[in-house]
Amino acid sequence: MKRALFALALLLAAAPALAVNPDEILSDPGLEALARTITRQLRCVVCQNQSIDDSEANLARDMRRVVRTRVLAGDGERQVLAFMVARYGDFVLLDPPFKPKTYALWFGPWVVLALAGMIALLWFRVKRSVAAPTSVPQLSAAERTRLDALLAEIDGEPHARGRERKP
């Protein structure tokens, strides 16, 4: 009785960890590996952000079966994916296709990175030009040698001492 109740409870439960089942697995390891590569790229269309490889939903199981049937029939990765897109639309692809409506998606990160890099470069330029405006009178040769001598002195031991003192 208890066992029957338990079985009933499990049946009623949205039984988890039902992902790929032993009876689904293809006997040819090469084809099975191909099927797994494909099922990892397909979204379970009734789940929240899960691939059909991970999902425990019944629909995901059906979709896995379809993928394996196509693979057994000799379809390649591209063909199976195209078949699924024809059935479910682009929504089924976890790897969004590269087309006009996803240009902003695919280029976005790189545009942000390039913009950020450009702003940083500009910032360096502006800072340098502010720090050394061209209108400032240039040093004479004598002044320059004296400055170099002073700088050399500063670059000597006091610098090292400065590092020592730093926390």
What is the SS3 assignment for 42?
strand
Closest separation in Å from C-beta 15 to another protein: 6
Burial 66-75 (b: 16+ CB within 10 A, else e): bbbebbeeeb
Provide the 10 A C-beta neighbour count for residue 44. Answer: 24
Contacts of residue 59, defined as CB under 8 A and 6 or more positions apart, other chains included, come to: 44, 45, 46
> Could you say which residues in the range 89-108 bind another protein, by CB under 8 A?
89-96, 101-102, 104-106, 108
Rule CB under 8 A: is residue 85 a binding residue for another protein? no
Specify the residue, 141 or 164, whose C-beta has the smaller distance to another protein: 164
Contact pattern from residue 16 through residue 55 relative to another protein, giving x for each residue in contact according to CB under 8 A and a dash for the rest? xxxxxxxx-x---------------x-x----xxxx--x-
Measure the CA–CA gap between 7 and 27, rounded to whole angstroms.
Answer: 30
Q: Which residues form the interface with another protein (CB under 8 A)?
A: 2-3, 6, 9-10, 12-23, 25, 41, 43, 48-51, 54, 89-96, 101-102, 104-106, 108-110, 112-113, 116-117, 120, 124, 127-128, 131, 167
